[in-house]
């Protein structure tokens, strides 16, 4: 899925040598049933992918990536659809866990529940390494639940253009979170989501380095090259939904035990 490209600016992305599947919501739920949880750890790029992940599961393209119960009617109208991702004033409402949606999805009459709610998932915001100890504790607690369960807990990790392009910084962050996962003794498949392409608003000298550190890697350079970006680092809802579905395709290929 990392290979391929777009045949022109804003044209659809076509992988090279493979086809990723666009799963129905029911199929996504069946895939998630294989796991005890899914954890996203990263910066703004991954945060947008996680928001799109929630949009798919809530079947709500207009507001599915947001904590609607915290918003006024004016804010909900202003942050609809692509504005969930492109307006700075909407970023503070992006979803951070399935638990908070399950708890609040009926408050104030603004109901937007998950199609299914059997596998918990969450997003941990980081900007570099080391991350705050509170986030270490959060992950350790998540991995400690159902410790004797045979089901894996996949981890999706990224440090992209919104923070840094330094490979050493990225590798340090990988090691940091891998150490916590290894200490838990859980089965934790690990996916590194590579940086997006530097958009036309970024200096041309910014080139993404390579190296997988022995982990599974989903590169986003080709996927985001020639895609519209409002600031050279962030992309809108269409790109985020495709990225989220690519991660779901990775999850579908994991062994359940």
Average pLDDT over residues 207-221: 63
Average pLDDT over residues 121-131: 93
The two tokens of residue 187 are 């089965």
Average pLDDT over residues 38-52: 94
Q: What angle do CA 112, 118, 119 make, to 5 degrees?
A: 100
Q: 110: Cβ–Cβ under 8 A, 6 or more apart, which residues?
A: 68, 69, 71, 76
pLDDT of 53 higher than 50: yes
Q: 203 pLDDT band (50/70/90 cuts)? A: very low
Residue 145: the pLDDT is 82
Residue 40: the pLDDT is 98
Residue 14: the pLDDT is 75
User: If you count them, how many residues does the chain have?
Assistant: 257
The DSSP call for residue 120 is -
Q: 30: Cβ–Cβ under 8 A, 6 or more apart, which residues?
A: none
Average pLDDT over residues 163-180: 81
Helix/strand/coil for 99: helix
Identify the structural domains of the chain with CATH numbers, from first to last.
Answer: 23-252 (3.40.50)
Q: Could you give the CA distance from residue 196 to residue 167 in angstroms, rounded to a whole number?
A: 14
Say what percent of the chain tops pLDDT 70.
Answer: 82
Spatial contact of 13 and 243, defined as CB atoms under 8 Å apart: no
pLDDT of 127 higher than 90: no
Q: Could you give the CA distance from residue 240 to residue 127 in angstroms, rounded to a whole number?
A: 19
Average pLDDT over residues 70-95: 93
Q: What is the pLDDT of residues 155-171, one digit of tens each?
A: 999 986 555 556 777 88
Q: What angle do CA 77, 82, 83 make, to 5 degrees?
A: 50
pLDDT of 175 higher than 80: yes
């Amino acid at each position: 899925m990392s290979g391929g490209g777009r045949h022109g600016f804003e044209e659809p992305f076509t992988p090279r040598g493979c086809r990723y599947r666009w799963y129905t919501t029911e199929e996504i739920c069946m895939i998630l049933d294989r796991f005890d949880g899914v954890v996203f750890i990263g910066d703004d790029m991954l945060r947008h992918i996680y928001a799109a992940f929630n949009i798919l599961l809530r079947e709500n393209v207009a507001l599915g990536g947001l904590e609607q119960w915290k918003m006024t009617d004016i804010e909900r109208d202003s942050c609809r659809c692509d504005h969930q991702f492109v307006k700075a004033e909407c970023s503070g409402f992006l979803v951070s866990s399935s638990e908070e949606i399950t708890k609040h999805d009926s408050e104030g009459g603004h109901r937007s529940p998950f199609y299914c709610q059997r596998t918990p998932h969450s997003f941990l915001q980081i900007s570099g390494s080391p991350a705050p100890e509170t986030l270490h504790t959060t992950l350790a607690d998540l991995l400690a639940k159902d410790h004797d369960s045979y089901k894996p807990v996949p981890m999706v990790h990224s440090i992209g253009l919104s923070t840094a392009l330094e490979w050493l910084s990225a590798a340090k962050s990988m090691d940091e979170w891998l150490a916590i996962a290894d200490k838990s003794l859980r089965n934790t498949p690990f996916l590194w989501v590579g940086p997006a392409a530097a958009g036309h608003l970024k200096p041309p000298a910014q080139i993404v380095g390579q190296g997988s550190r022995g982990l599974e890697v989903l590169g986003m350079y080709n996927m985001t090259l020639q895609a519209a970006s409002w600031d050279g680092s962030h992309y809108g809802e269409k790109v985020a939904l495709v990225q989220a579905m690519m991660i779901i395709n990775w999850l579908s290929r994991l062994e359940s035990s």
